[in-house]
């Protein structure tokens, strides 16, 4: 068992004993990742903040149902994702930004400009990143969320399957299809993009 998994298990056990410090520690540890995930799925900042807060409320309220043999983060991300799905259904939203400004230190991009690049090269990198984000935003929500979890949260296929409550084969198929659609969209703009696990080598 990893140290991180053991730490979360101990914190959850303390929470079940109504240890307020454990609640605070779990909230501090996962506030950023949960908000970052939701913010990339929900365009409106206020809605995203409310949904992230609701994810923690539901998690702590139903903590007694959590299986200590599982990863707490995957369970928490599933709650957040389900809230986003419900939000889509109610508002009929269809955007999942991969990068958004102002995530309290959590922000990053898939392709960062080279700090030593010239102004022209820096502009080119930023324009390339902008087009990449726009292409990702145009993907159907079901494909966008697997890319968020895979490339932004760096989850393994098994963790994504657990988080989304999907069969492992479905997750792999969606990621493969998302990569294909994204490359096709970028190719029409004369841009090449090769994901690090394009051949599904990383498990």
pLDDT digits (tens, 9 = 90+) for 83-120: 988 887 776 534 444 443 434 444 333 443 344 444 55
Residue 112: predicted pLDDT: 35
In terms of Cα–Cα distance, which of 58, 49, 107 is closest to 82?
A: 58
Lowest mean pLDDT among 46-60, 68-82, 98-112, 176-190: 98-112
Residue 133: predicted pLDDT: 74
CATH number at residue 16: 1.10.1740.10
User: What is the band of 187 on the pLDDT scale with cuts at 50, 70, 90?
Assistant: confident
Q: Name the token pair of 124.
A: 């080119």
Residue 177 has pLDDT above 80, yes or no: yes
- The answer to whether residue 54 sits within a structural domain is yes
Q: How big is the CA angle at 74 (ends 72 and 77), to the nearest 5 degrees? A: 110
Residues recorded for the chain: 203
53-to-117, 160, 181 alpha-carbon distances in Å: 40, 21, 33
Within this chain, do residues 84 and 155 fall inside the same structural domain, yes or no? no
Domain that residue 143 falls in: 119-187
Q: Where are the alpha helices (DSSP H) in the chain?
A: 3-16, 20-39, 45-61, 72-91, 119-137, 141-147, 157-164, 168-187
Residue 38: predicted pLDDT: 87
Q: How big is the CA angle at 199 (ends 112 and 134), to the nearest 5 degrees? A: 40
Within this chain, do residues 125 and 77 fall inside the same structural domain, yes or no? no
- The answer to whether residue 170 sits within a structural domain is yes
DSSP conformational letter for 43? S
- The answer to whether residue 146 sits within a structural domain is yes
Residue 110: predicted pLDDT: 42
> Against a cut of 0.75, is the pTM above it?
no
**Taking all residues of the chain, what is their mean pLDDT, rounded to a whole number?**
78
In terms of Cα–Cα distance, which of 134, 159, 195 is closest to 70?
A: 159
When divided into structural domains, the chain yields a total of 2
Q: How far apart are CA 53 and CA 152, in angstroms?
A: 20
Lowest mean pLDDT among 57-61, 157-161, 189-193: 189-193
User: What is the band of 195 on the pLDDT scale with cuts at 50, 70, 90?
Assistant: low
CATH number at residue 152: 1.10.10.10
Q: What are the residues whose beta carbons fall under 8 Å from the beta carbon of 79, sequence distance 6 or more?
A: 55, 58, 59
60-to-17, 68, 178 alpha-carbon distances in Å: 12, 14, 33
User: What is the band of 128 on the pLDDT scale with cuts at 50, 70, 90?
Assistant: confident
Residue 97: predicted pLDDT: 43
pLDDT in tens, 17-31: 999 999 999 999 999
């Amino acid at each position: 068992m990893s140290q991180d998994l053991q730490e979360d298990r101990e914190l959850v056990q303390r929470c079940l004993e109504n240890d307020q410090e454990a609640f605070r520690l779990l909230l501090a540890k996962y506030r950023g990742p949960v908000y970052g995930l939701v913010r990339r799925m929900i365009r409106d900042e206020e809605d995203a903040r409310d949904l992230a807060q609701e994810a923690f409320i539901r998690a702590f309220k139903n903590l007694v149902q959590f299986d200590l043999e599982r990863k707490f983060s995957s369970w928490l991300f599933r709650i957040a994702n389900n809230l986003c799905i419900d939000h889509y259904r109610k508002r009929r939203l269809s955007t999942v930004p991969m990068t958004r400004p102002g995530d309290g230190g959590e922000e990053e991009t898939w392709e960062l400009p080279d700090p030593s690049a010239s102004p022209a090269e820096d502009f080119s990198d930023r324009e390339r990143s902008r087009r990449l984000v726009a292409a990702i935003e145009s993907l159907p929500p079901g494909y966008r969320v697997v890319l968020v979890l895979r490339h932004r949260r760096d989850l393994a296929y098994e963790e994504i399957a657990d988080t989304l409550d999907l069969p492992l084969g479905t997750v792999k198929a969606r990621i493969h299809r998302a990569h294909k659609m994204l490359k096709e969209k970028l190719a029409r703009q004369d841009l090449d993009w090769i994901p690090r696990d394009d051949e599904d080598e990383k498990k």
